[in-house]
Structure 1
Amino acid sequence: MSRSVGQLLYAAALLAAVLLCTCASAQPAPSAATALDLLTVHQRALQAAPPLQLLQAQRAEREAALRAAGARLGPQLEAVWQQGGGRDALAARTAQGSLLLTQPLIDLPRWQARDAARHRLAAGEAEQAQGEQQLRQLSARLFVQLHAQSQAQRVQRELQQAYAEEARRMGVRHREGLAAAVDWRQSQSFQLLADAGARNGAQQLRALRQALVAHAGDASLLDAAIQGLRADALPPALEAPAAGSGRSPRHDAQRAERDAREQELHAARQATLPTLSLQAQAQRDLQSRPRHGSDWLLQLRIPLWDSGSRAAGRDAAAQRLRAAEAELMQLERDLAREQATQAERLLSAREQHATATGGLQAAEQTVAAMRIGQEQGTRSTTDVLLALQTLGQLRQLAVAAQLEAWLAWIDGLVAQGRFDEGALAALNTQLE
C-alpha cells in the first residue's frame, strides 16, 4: 500500500515539474479582440497628456512673443490729448489733440530681439518634439515592464506550485516513515520563500498597473487585458545614426536656446548705436478758435550716457550665452555616452537571453533526473529543490534579459532622437 501511494505521489510531482518546465500559462491567454496593444494604450495617453499640453502652451507663448517682437518693427499709431495752463489768469490755456504715427527705420536691437524670439520659438518646437518622444518612450517602457513582470509572476507562481507539491509529497513520505523530517521542513522553507516572492511580484505588478493608469489617464487599464511580447522577441542591435540624419530634439532645443542668447548679446552690444525713425503727426487745437495742422520728421536718437546700465546688460547677456554653450557641450557628451551605454547594454542583454534560453533544456532534464534519483534513493530532497530553483532562475533570467534588451533599445533610440511613431509600431509588431 505504501509503495502504491509513493508511486502516485511521484507521478504527481513529476507532472508538477513538467508544468514548471513549460512556458505556457495555466490560464487561457486573452483573445486578440479583447487584449490591448501598445498603439492603443499610447493613443489613450495622447488624448489627455498634461506634459504635452504644457509644452503646447509654452510654444504658443513663444509664438506670441515672436509676433510681438515683429510688431515692434512696424508702424505704431498713438492718440495724444494735452491740456495745460499757468497760474496767471492772463496765461494762455491750451487744449490740443494729435495723432502720432511712428515707423522705425533703423533699430538694430529690435531686429536682434526679433531674431532671438524666432530662435526661442524653434526651441519650443524642439521641446514639443522631445515631449512627444518622451511620451512614446514612457508608453513603451511601461508596456514592456508590465509584460515582463507578468511573465516573472507566472514563473514565480509555477515555482510556488512546484515547491508546494514537493512539500506536500515530503510530508506524506515523512508520515509514512519514508523521509526524514528535515527533508519535509526544507521543502516547506522553499515553499515559504516562493510564497513571499509571489506576493512581492503581485505588488510590483499592481504598482506597474497604477503607473500605466496614471500615464494614460484611463482607470479602465487597471484590469484591462494587455498583449504581451513573444517569448523569442528581441530588438535589433542599435546602429550609430548616419551623418546628417539629424540630432536629438533635446540637442536641437538647447542649440536653439544658445542661438537665441547669442542674438540677445548682439542686441545688448548694439544698444549704444543710434536709432532712426520716421514720425508723422496730425494736430488739432481745441481752444475756442480751433486750428489744425500736420507735420513729419526724421528722428535720430544717439545714446550718450546711462550710468552703466547698457554695459551691465551686455555683460549679463554674455554670461547667459556662456552658460548656454556650456550646457550644450555637456548635453552633447551626455547623449554620446547614453548612446554608447545603451548599445552595450542591449548586446549584453541579448547574450544573457541566449544563455538563459540555452540552459533551459538542460535544467528541465536535470529536474527530471533529480526526481528519478530521489525516488531511487541516489538523490536527496535538496538536490530536487535546487534543481527546481535553478530552472526557475533561468526562466526568470530569460524574462529579465528580454526586458533589459527592449529597455536598452528604447532608451538608445531616444538618445539618438529616433524613437518615432515608426519605432513604436515596430515594437507593436513583436506582440503575441
Structure 2
Amino acid sequence: MSSIFRFGPATLVTAAFIGPGTVVTASLAGANFGYALLWALLFSVLATLILQEMAARLGIVTGRGLGENLRLQLQHPLLRALLYLLVIAAIVLGNSAYQGGNLTGASLGAEAIWGDTAWRLALAEQSKLNPWALLFGAVAAAILWQGRYQLIERWLIGLVLLMSLAFISSMLLTQPTWSAILRGLLVPQLPEGATLTVIALIGTTVVPYSLFLHAASAARKWQTTDKTQALAESAADLRTAIPLGGLITLAIVSTAASAFFGKGLTLSNAGELALSLEPLFGASARYLMALGLLAAGLSSALTAPLAAAFALQGLLALNPQQFRLTWLLVMLIGITVSSMGLKPLSVIWFAQVANGILLPVITLCLLVAVNAKALGRYRNNRRQNLLGFSVLAITLLLSGRTLYLALS
C-alpha cells in the first residue's frame, strides 16, 4: 500500500531543474515582469509531470533507462548516429558547461553567507582558483564516488528540503501580493520583451536530460518490486517532488518581484538578489536566499554529471568503470570552469541550441517507447497520448522559437 506523498527518484528531477540557472531565470522573471509569467511556470510543472511519469513508467516496466531503450529501438545506423551525436552534444558536453555554472552558483551563495573569509582570499590569491568551487566539487564527487543510489537520493532529498525551507521562507519574509500570484498563475499574459524569459522559464524546467536521469533511477529503485506497487509509489513520488520544485521556483519569482519589480532597480545575478534583500527585508532574507542558492548549486552539481553518465551508459552500454569515468570527467570540467572563472559562452550557447533540437526529438522517442506493444497493459492510454503529444507540439513551437532567436 503506497502513501499519497513520498520522496524517491523524482527528487533527482527536482534537484536537477532547481539549479543556479533556474534561480537566475526565475529571479529575472520576477524582477522584470513581476508575477505576470507565473502561468509559464505552471505549464512547465504540468509538462514535466506528464513526461516524467512516462519516463519513470518506462524504466520500471522495462527495467532499463531511456538511453538503453533508445539503443534497442533504433536499428537504422544513420538515425542512431545522429541521435547519439545530438545527445552527446546536448547532454554530455552541455552538462559539462552547466556544471561550471552549478558550482559558481553554489559559490555565490556561500560568499553571500560568509563573505570574503581570510582562508578563501589567501587560497584564491595563491592558486588563482575559486576555493568554494573546489570544495563543493570535491563534496559532490565524494558522494557520487560511493556509487550507492540510496545515499545519493538521501543527499538530494535533504538538499531539496533545504531549498524549500530557504526559498519559501524568504518569499514569506518579503510579503508577496497573493492575489497577483493567483492572477499570474491562471491568466496568461505576455508583456513586451518577455518572450525570451518565458522560453527560459520553460526550458529550465522541462529538460531532456531529466528524462534520462529519471528513467534510469526509477529502473534501479524499483528493479525488484512488483510493477503495480512500483508504479503507485512512483506516482506518489511524482506528485510530491515535481510540484515542490514548482513551488520553489514560484517562491524565487515572488521574492524577486517583491524586491525589484516596479521599483526602478536592476538585477544582474542571483547572488546580487540575496545581498539586496538585506536592506529591504532584513538579514534573515539575505541568508535564506543565499542558503537556497548554495543548496541549488550543490544539488545540480550532483545531478548534472549523473544525468550525463546515465545518458551515455544507456546509449553506448558503458560498464561501471566507464560510467564513473563519465561523471568524473563532467565534474572535473565543471570544477575547472568555475575555479578559473572561465565563461564558456560559446559551449553553453551550442548546448542550448542542441537541447532546443533534442527536447522534441527525445519527447517523440519517449512517446514511441511508451506505446510499444511490449509494455502490454502498461503502454500509454488515449488520455496519456493526448497529453504527451500536446506537450510535444508545444515543445516543437518553443524549440523553433529558441533556435530562431539563437541563430538570428
Higher helix share: 2
TM-score w.r.t. length of structure 2:
0.26
Higher strand share: 1
| Higher Cα Rg, which structure | 1
Q: Say which structure, 1 or 2, has more relative contact order (CA 8 Å, 6+ apart).
A: 2
